[in-house]
Structure 1
Amino acid sequence: MALRRVCKKSELLDGNSIHIDDPEIVVFNVDGELFAIKDVCTHDEARLSDGELTGETIICPWHGACFSIRTGEALSPPAIEPVETYPVLLREDDIYVET
């Protein structure tokens, strides 16, 4: 496993997300808790970071599939496969994702 630096925690405000490439991952800040998932819908490969975040649920912008950002679970059709999740580490003010 490798650690990928994302940004400073102070740059990722509550309720916001940030996309990183290679691999495509989106990191969310929800009430100060950090979550990372693969930034690709398992139904039709839309970028989930373009979707709407409601609590701990991200809604795919193309067909409305919902995923838990905590577990990756597909919560509603048309997606049936979960999205991959990644461990998030905070070192001082820096956010890292374990890939």
Structure 2
Amino acid sequence: MTEFYKAARLEEIKEGELYAVEVDGEPVCLTKVEGQICAFTDNCTHISGPLNEGELEGCTLTCPWHGAQFDVRTGKVLRGPARQDLHTYSIKIEDETIFVGLPEEE
């Protein structure tokens, strides 16, 4: 089961920009790519570099620490040194507010 938490206002997320938020204690990065809001963990899977400080070109995010690249839409690794995909989160938008879905802890 997924629980949704308020993360940001829709107007705060600009096309091609990275926006760091904390959602129920989890570091999450939001962006807009081709009009679509994407949400993913804000820590690189290599050694936890701050992805919100990285560079986004189209849908490709480059980690600022060691250059690992990810597709922000799917979380897939595009270039190492990272080997593990990013965790992506479902989102929903209600009344111009973005909610991020976190899986319930077991």
Structure 1 gap segments, 5+ residues each: none
Pair 1:64 & 2:67 matched? yes
User: Over the residues paired in the alignment, what is the CA RMSD in angstroms?
Assistant: 1.0
Pair 1:55 & 2:58 matched? yes
**Per-residue displacement from partner, 1:22-59 (whole Å, max 9, x unpaired)?**
10110111232100010111111101111000111110
Q: Between Structure 1 and Structure 2, how many residues are aligned?
A: 99
**TM-score, normalised via structure 2 length:** 0.88
Residue correspondence of structure 1 range 15-54 to structure 2 within 5 A: 15-21=16-22, 22-54=25-57
Q: Distance in 2 between matches of 1:14 and 1:71?
A: 17
**Per-residue displacement from partner, 1:50-76 (whole Å, max 9, x unpaired)?**
100011111000000001111111110
Instruction: Judge conservation of contact 2:38–2:73 (CA < 8 Å) in 1.
Output: yes
Match for residue 91 of structure 1 among 81, 90, 94: 94
**TM-score, normalised via structure 1 length:** 0.94
Instruction: Judge conservation of contact 2:18–2:53 (CA < 8 Å) in 1.
Output: no
Q: Distance in 2 between matches of 1:26 and 1:63?
A: 18
**Per-residue displacement from partner, 1:60-98 (whole Å, max 9, x unpaired)?**
000000011111111101011101000011112111110
Structure 2 gap segments, 5+ residues each: none
Q: Distance in 1 between matches of 2:43 and 2:28?
A: 8
Q: Which runs of 4+ in 1 moved over 3 A?
A: none
Q: Distance in 2 between matches of 1:16 and 1:9?
A: 13
